[in-house]
Amino acid sequence: MKRLLPSPLLSLVLLLTWLLLNQSVEPAQLLLGALLAVVAPLLSRPLQPHGYARIRRPLALLRLLSQASVEVLRSCFNVTRIILFARSEGLNSQFVRIPLDMKSPHGLAMLAAIINLTPGTVWVEILPESNELALHVFDLHDAQWWVDTVKRQYEQPLIEIFGG
């Protein structure tokens, strides 16, 4: 079972993707989708040098994603307000360093996706010597607030979910 389905979640997502693409749940489409869900992860296994991610706490992942969605919405309104009403000379766009404890590549990838999807923040890179994250913030008021928020709101749950 483990050899046939290295990542059950990925297989499930592939099956759902196939069904959504074809907009049907006929047996034939289910069969084709199941075939895709089994074969595609097996064939793409060599492309994943770190292996497939193992999610230890699915509930924590759901909670993190819902929190992140709220944060994305809030930032959307902030950025909209700044673009429409603020004077661009008053904008304090800055790079911020955030020291990270997490080393897991899957956790870092997830963190990068969340941060880049949040309007107003863009991930630059992980500084290799110190494992610090370089982050660009659209309108910076308080660098320490960003450090605390990223560490508490995102990094802690991600360490719980993917391991350090």
Partner 1 sequence: MSAPELLPWWVGLPVSLLLVLGGIVALTGCLGLLRLPSFYQRIHGPAITITLGTGCILIASMLYFSALQSRPVIHELLITLFVLLTAPMVSMLLMRAAVYRDQRKRRLPGEAPETGEIYPLSARPADKRAP
Distance CA 37, CA 35 (A): 5
Considering only residues 73 to 112 of the shown chain, the ones binding partner 1 according to CB under 8 A are: 73, 76, 79-80, 83-84, 88, 91, 93-95, 97, 112
Give the nearer residue to partner 1 in terms of CB position, either 97 or 151: 97
Considering only residues 11 to 40 of the shown chain, the ones binding partner 1 according to CB under 8 A are: 17, 20-21, 23
Compute the least distance from the CB of residue 3 to partner 1, in Å.
27
Distance CA 22, CA 7 (A): 23
- Alpha helices of the chain — where are they, by DSSP H? 8-22, 27-44, 58-85, 105-117, 143-149, 156-162
Residue 120 makes contact with partner 1 by CB under 8 A: yes
Query: 77 Cβ partners below 8 Å, 6+ apart?
Result: none
- Judge contact between 8 and 37, C-beta under 8 A: no
> How far is C-alpha 16 from the chain's CA centre?
20
Give the nearer residue to partner 1 in terms of CB position, either 39 or 73: 73
Q: Which of 11, 107, 118, 154 binds partner 1 (CB under 8 A)?
A: 118
Write the CA distances from 21 to 12, 30, 164, integer angstroms: 14, 12, 36
Q: For residue 6, how many other CB atoms are within 10 A of its CB?
A: 15
Residue 131 makes contact with partner 1 by CB under 8 A: no
Interface with partner 1 (CB under 8 A), residue total: 34
Give the nearer residue to partner 1 in terms of CB position, either 1 or 82: 82
Q: Is 41 helix (H, G, I), strand (E, B) or coil?
A: helix
Q: Which of 12, 35, 62, 116 binds partner 1 (CB under 8 A)?
A: 116
Give the nearer residue to partner 1 in terms of CB position, either 27 or 89: 89
Binding residues for partner 1 (CB under 8 A): 17, 20-21, 23, 72-73, 76, 79-80, 83-84, 88, 91, 93-95, 97, 112-113, 115-125, 127, 134, 136, 138
